[in-house]
Chains A and B, each alone.
Chain A
């Protein structure tokens, strides 16, 4: 996602890498932010309709964010090494249609990606374009566990050259 607005193509996918969820990590995040019984206790998870300890959906989402930040940082370093300027990205105003399609169980390895699904000009911030993306998370069986749609302000190459 470290491209100028003009250079992003609808349908383009960026692979963000994988993350393995351990029982300890799941319980640590949930203990702090989402201590529902099936997120903090193996026995309660097994007894629940999930059938095992499962990660908070906010944990799955927060790791997606971390994978995106790490991906962007690596692309920034590469661009700077080539002496290229990198686009400024604006803060996200939120997201919609987040779906936790299937549970993330302790021991699952999740593969994260982001797809470009739309783009449009910004009337309020003419230096930027608005890029619509779909976040994707699939487990080791290739089954989708999470997706959501969000919008980001991405700087225009034209604006950078002014």
Chain B
């Protein structure tokens, strides 16, 4: 049985996870496959771009963040996925050698009216580098199974 069900998310609580090292190899590999723009593939092209140096694709940063979310608590939960993402901000470039930490803040929650087995929890995620700069932010209304579907919220 998963550790966290809908009932176990308490608004206002935070969950910390990390650090997670980002390597040059994975930045290049992700960019080659999904976002082959010069500033994600080449040091000099990065320096000449608004990134000011080689930086990870925002989609890579997002995917790394998703993996950290999985390892932090999502895999050991009754997650039913998410219908989308309210807002994503890529605030600073992620560089080779960065060590990222994840802070999850639990926001408002509500039971689904149409699906009694499910509830929706607003989760806010902040990703920080080793300098304490927030590099990425997002808010995701996430669906979780309830432990006791018969019980009212």
| Cβ–Cβ < 8 Å partners of B33 in chain A | 66
By the criterion CB–CB under 8 Å, are B70 and A65 in contact? no
Interface of B is mostly: mixed
Q: Which of A110-145 contact B (CB under 8 A)?
A: none
Contact string, B104-131, partner A, CB cutoff 8 A, digits 1/0?
Answer: 0000000000000000000000000000
Q: Is B63 an interface residue (CB 8 A)?
A: yes
Interface residues of B, CB < 8 Å — how many?
A: 33
B33, B59, B74 — which one has the most chain A CB atoms within 10 A of its CB? B59
Instruction: Specify the chain A residue showing the minimal Cβ separation from B35.
Output: A65
Task: Say which residue of A36, A61, A69 sits within 8 Å of B79 (CB atoms).
Answer: A36
| Distance from A24 Cβ to chain B, minimum over Cβ atoms (Å) | 14
Count A/B pairs, Cβ under 8 Å.
91
Q: Which of B81-118 contact A (CB under 8 A)?
A: 81-91
Task: Say which residue of B36, B62, B79, B84 sits within 8 Å of A99 (CB atoms).
Answer: B84
The size bracket of the interface on A is 20 to 34
Given contacts A65-B59, A91-B39, contact A35 B70 (CB under 8 A): yes
By the criterion CB–CB under 8 Å, are B34 and A97 in contact? no
Q: With A and B bound together, what is the CA distance between A69 and B74 in angstroms?
A: 31
Q: Is B14 an interface residue (CB 8 A)?
A: no
By the criterion CB–CB under 8 Å, are A100 and B84 in contact? yes
Q: With A and B bound together, what is the CA distance between A95 and B88 in angstroms?
A: 5
Q: With A and B bound together, what is the CA distance between A97 and B33 in angstroms?
A: 25
Q: Is A83 an interface residue (CB 8 A)?
A: no
Q: Is B23 an interface residue (CB 8 A)?
A: no
Given contacts A99-B84, A100-B84, contact A91 B51 (CB under 8 A): yes
| Cβ–Cβ < 8 Å partners of A58 in chain B | 59, 62-63, 66
By the criterion CB–CB under 8 Å, are A62 and B35 in contact? yes
| Cβ–Cβ < 8 Å partners of B80 in chain A | 48-49
| Distance from B45 Cβ to chain A, minimum over Cβ atoms (Å) | 12
Q: With A and B bound together, what is the CA distance between A32 and B62 in angstroms?
A: 12
By the criterion CB–CB under 8 Å, are B86 and A97 in contact? yes
By the criterion CB–CB under 8 Å, are B70 and A97 in contact? no
18 A-B residue pairs with CB within 8 Å: A33-B64, A36-B75, A48-B80, A54-B81, A57-B85, A58-B59, A62-B63, A63-B34, A65-B57, A91-B58, A92-B58, A92-B90, A94-B58, A94-B90, A97-B84, A97-B86, A98-B84, A153-B50
Interface residues of B (CB under 8 A from A): 33-37, 39, 49-51, 57-59, 62-64, 66-67, 70, 74-75, 79-91
